[in-house]
Amino acid sequence: MRRKLVAGNWKMHGGLSRNRDLLQSLAQAIGAGGGADYAVCAPFPYLAQTQTLLNGTAIAWGGQTLSEHAEGAYTGEVSAAMLADFGCRYVIVGHSERRSLYGESNQTAAVKFVAAARAGLTPILCLGETLEQREGNVTEQVIAAQLDAVVETAGVSGFAGAVIAYEPVWAIGTGRTATPQQAQDVHAFIRARLARRDAALAQRVQILYGGSVKPQNAAELFGMADIDGGLIGGASLVAQDFVAICRAADQ
Ligand code: PGA
């Protein structure tokens, strides 16, 4: 049995006092640990605050993106080592918002994935198709291209210390969740594709589902054979909702 992981993605939300309330509530409710792993991915300026408030709890933290470079004249960028300096365990790589709004390609995701791993961070690699691609029946080709680009750059062994998140673009922030079966089908496809290169490793990789996960649908999604937890956007900003989703993963 793979252990489940629930990771919050705050996106560009938060503020010092709001974060304090949220993080203290999470620390109190799930900080002692449970049957699953938990994490929150905060905006860069709040990583120090997150570290202070979550240190010593069972809740890990991480960044939402990173630079592909180790160091240098890259104004505005943040390196993997800088995230590691603030105790990050995870970093989200290739989120669909990075791809669609900031022009990140499959190749960008691949080099960021490698940069994260090199610094000892666990990349959470996001894969997902748009509505148009799903309706055009090219979901599997899109996911395969996104995944293969990273496998070719990082090697399949790079996935030993990584997490994958399947996030259909049409389900992100829309309230429209993939059905458990729709998600399961893609998760099984991803695992099978990795298994062609390394069957044992493919069995161990955690594959999260993301896209409008809520307390009401989490248990059913997490009950599917290849769904190993969730990457949670909107619901990760509400302590009660995030805790309920974490509890669903504890089962
Ligand atoms: P959502 O976002 O839960 O608000 O749909 C998920 C994500 O983008 O990671």
Closest to 82 measured CA to CA, from 38, 124, 40, 51: 51
Report the separation in Å between the CA atom of 71 and the middle of ligand 1, taken as the mean of its atom positions.
30
Domain count, the chain: 1
For residue 16, CA distances in Å to 13, 27, 225 come to 11, 16, 38
d(CA 55, CA 195): 36
Q: What is the pTM of this model?
A: 0.98
Report the separation in Å between the CA atom of 29 and the middle of ligand 1, taken as the mean of its atom positions.
22
Domain residues for 226?
A: 3-250
Report the separation in Å between the CA atom of 128 and the middle of ligand 1, taken as the mean of its atom positions.
12
**Structure tokens that stand for 190 in this block:** 């991803």
Ligand 1 atom at minimal distance to the Cα of residue 231: 9
- Burial 212-230, CB ≥16 within 10 A → b, else e: bbbbebbeebbebebbbbb
For residue 22, CA distances in Å to 5, 59, 132, 231 come to 19, 13, 36, 17
Q: What is the pLDDT of residue 119?
A: 98
| Residue type, position 173, single letter | G
- The one-character DSSP state at 3 is P
> What is the per-residue pLDDT across 185-199, written as a single tens digit (0 to 9) for each?
999 999 999 999 999
Please state the rounded mean pLDDT for residues 149-171.
97
Does 251 score more than 90 pLDDT? no
Is 129 annotated as catalytic? no
| 230 CB near ligand 1 (under 6 Å) | no
Can you tell me whether residue 19 is helix, strand or coil?
Answer: helix
Ligand 1 atom at minimal distance to the Cα of residue 234: 4
What is the total residue count of the chain?
251
Q: What is the pLDDT of residue 1?
A: 78
CA-nearest residue, atom 2 of ligand 1: 233
**Structure tokens that stand for 194 in this block:** 């990795």
| 241 CB near ligand 1 (under 6 Å) | no
Q: What is the pLDDT of residue 171?
A: 95
- The one-character DSSP state at 177 is P
CATH assignment at residue 210 = 3.20.20.70
- The one-character DSSP state at 172 is T
Q: What is the pLDDT of residue 146?
A: 98
Of the candidates 68, 129, 167, 187, the residue annotated as catalytic is 167
Does 183 score more than 90 pLDDT? yes
Is 167 annotated as catalytic? yes
Q: What's the angle, vertex CA 8, arms to CA 241 and CA 149, rounded to 5?
A: 140
Is residue 190 within 8 A of residue 143, CB to CB? The reply is yes
